DNA sequence: CTTATTGCAAACGTTTTGCACGTTT
DNA sequence: AAACGTGCAAAACGTTTGCAATAAG
């Protein structure tokens, strides 16, 4: 588990390498993702930001721009929920897939070697140069199965 | 491969069972999906509908409503492209996953037993009651790999 | 002092909705 | 006749963009 200081340093390096600037807003968003386990929409982050840091002005556009940047740099990653938008998480961890509860929205992460291997094999079989892959299993989590009754 | 008449009959049954009505618009959209292999956005379908059936009035809202209905009834299925919307196809065929080319948008369908089995196993492991699952491999198709150079 | 970044509001593209009118049953 | 479906236009939704002001290097 990387420390926040190391992550921050890494981020600063990336910014410098690309001629970008280190701002209060970018720092706060990075910090937020580091401190909060879980998956958040840009809206979530924007709201919590305004609430927890009333002293810093921040616009929703900046949240979107920063999340896009973090994802491009490989620091964050997102899962898409179709029309309902995306949710972001810190992405320094290993690749993983998601189980999503359709009732309460809970997201469970998992990783399966066999699935990963089959994906590579399939891409190869169709002469596809794989850039990314996602898999989502949607259903009812344990708790919600009980409460459905 | 189901015949169109059988599909139509099935659709009429479903409508009747749910107290819904059989309309010209619903029929045309079903027919369109039956006759056209491939994946289409609601917009695609709307445009082609207006072009090929200038005699029938149809609104984009009806296309959305009908596609949602067809998907709910299991007759059609969709893949999501995030902000860029969804694409629909007739869903009477066997479950399958998708390879999507990020350059030309081509969609290749595949089915892999091992992946299916692992998905079931994983859902079970997390006490998840699986309702659906999707997997997308995105990358460059054979043709586009060549043209990238 | 140059360049990137910001917040704001307006624009965007897709999807949904309210409503009066039309069609199916 | 009752109920559902329709087209239309307006609204909603998440997201992106142009711009003048601001902050970082």
The radius of gyration of chain A's CA atoms, rounded to the nearest angstrom, is 18
B101-133 confidence digits (pLDDT tens): 888 888 999 999 999 999 999 999 999 999 888
At A19, the pLDDT band (50, 70, 90 cuts) reads very high
Residues A2 and A92 sit within 8 Å (Cβ to Cβ): yes
- Asked if strand D contacts A65 at the CB level, meaning under 7 A, the answer is yes
Which of the four pLDDT bands, split at 50, 70 and 90, describes residue B94?
low
B39 touches strand C (CB under 7 A): no
Question: B141 and A135 in contact by Cβ < 8 A?
Answer: no
Candidates B82, B112, B127; nearest CB to A122: B112
Residue A106's pLDDT is: 87
What is d(CA B123, CA A148) in angstroms, rounded to the nearest whole number? 18
> Are A40 and A87 in contact, with CB atoms under 8 Å apart?
yes
C-beta of residue B87 within 8 angstroms of C-beta of residue B81: yes
Give contacts of A123 with chain B, Cβ < 8 Å: 99, 137, 139
Confidence (pLDDT) at B149: 58
pLDDT at B106: 87
Pairing between strand B107-110 and B97-101?
antiparallel
Residue A7 pLDDT level (bands cut at 50, 70, 90): very high
Cα–Cα distance measured from residue A100 to residue A134, given in angstroms and rounded to the nearest whole number: 13
| A95-149: CATH topology | Dna Ligase; domain 1 (3.30.1490)
Rounded to an integer, what is the distance from CA A140 to the centroid of its chain? 22
pLDDT at A146: 86
Residues of A in contact with B85 (CB under 8 A): 83
E strand or H helix at A133: strand A129-140
Please report which confidence band the pLDDT of residue B93 belongs to, taking 50, 70 and 90 as the band edges: low
Q: Under CATH, which architecture does the A1-93 domain have?
A: Orthogonal Bundle (1.10)
pTM of the model: 0.87
Q: d(Cα B136, Cα B106) in Å, to the nearest integer?
A: 13
Higher pLDDT, B29 or A79: B29
What beta strand segments (E) does B63-128 contain? Answer: 76-80, 86-90, 97-101, 107-110
Q: Where are the domains of chain B?
A: 1-93, 95-149
Can you give the distance from the CA of residue B21 to the C1' of nucleotide C23 in angstroms?
A: 9
- A44-90 pLDDT tens trace: 999 999 999 999 999 999 999 999 999 999 999 998 888 889 999 99
DSSP B19: T
> With a CB-CB cutoff of 8 Å, which residues 104-133 of chain B face chain A?
108, 110, 112, 114-115, 118-119, 122-123, 126-133
Residue B1 has pLDDT above 80, yes or no: no
pLDDT of residue A9: 96
Residue A99 contacts residue B128 (beta carbons within 8 Å): yes
pLDDT tens digit string along B127-146? 999 988 889 998 999 988 88
Given a cut of 80, whether residue A94 has pLDDT beyond it is no
For strand D, which residues in window 17-76 of chain B come within 7 Å by CB? 19-21, 23, 25-26, 56-62, 65-66
Determine the pLDDT at residue B21: 98
The mean of the pLDDT values for chain B is 92
């Amino acid at each position: 588990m990387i420390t926040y200081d190391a992550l921050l340093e890494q981020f600063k390096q990336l910014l410098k390498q690309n001629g970008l600037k280190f701002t209060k807003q970018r720092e706060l968003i990075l910090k937020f993702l580091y401190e909060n386990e879980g998956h958040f929409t840009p809206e979530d982050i924007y709201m919590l930001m305004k609430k927890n840091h009333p002293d810093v002005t921040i616009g929703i556009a900046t949240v979107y721009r920063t999340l896009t940047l973090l994802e491009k740099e490989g620091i964050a990653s997102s899962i898409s929920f179709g029309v309902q938008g995306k949710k972001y998480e810190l992405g320094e961890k290993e690749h993983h897939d998601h189980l999503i509860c359709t009732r309460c929205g809970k997201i469970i992460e998992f990783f399966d070697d066999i699935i990963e291997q089959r994906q590579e094999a399939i891409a190869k079989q169709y002469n596809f140069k794989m850039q990314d892959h996602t898999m989502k299993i949607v259903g009812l989590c344990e708790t919600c199965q009980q409460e459905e009754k």
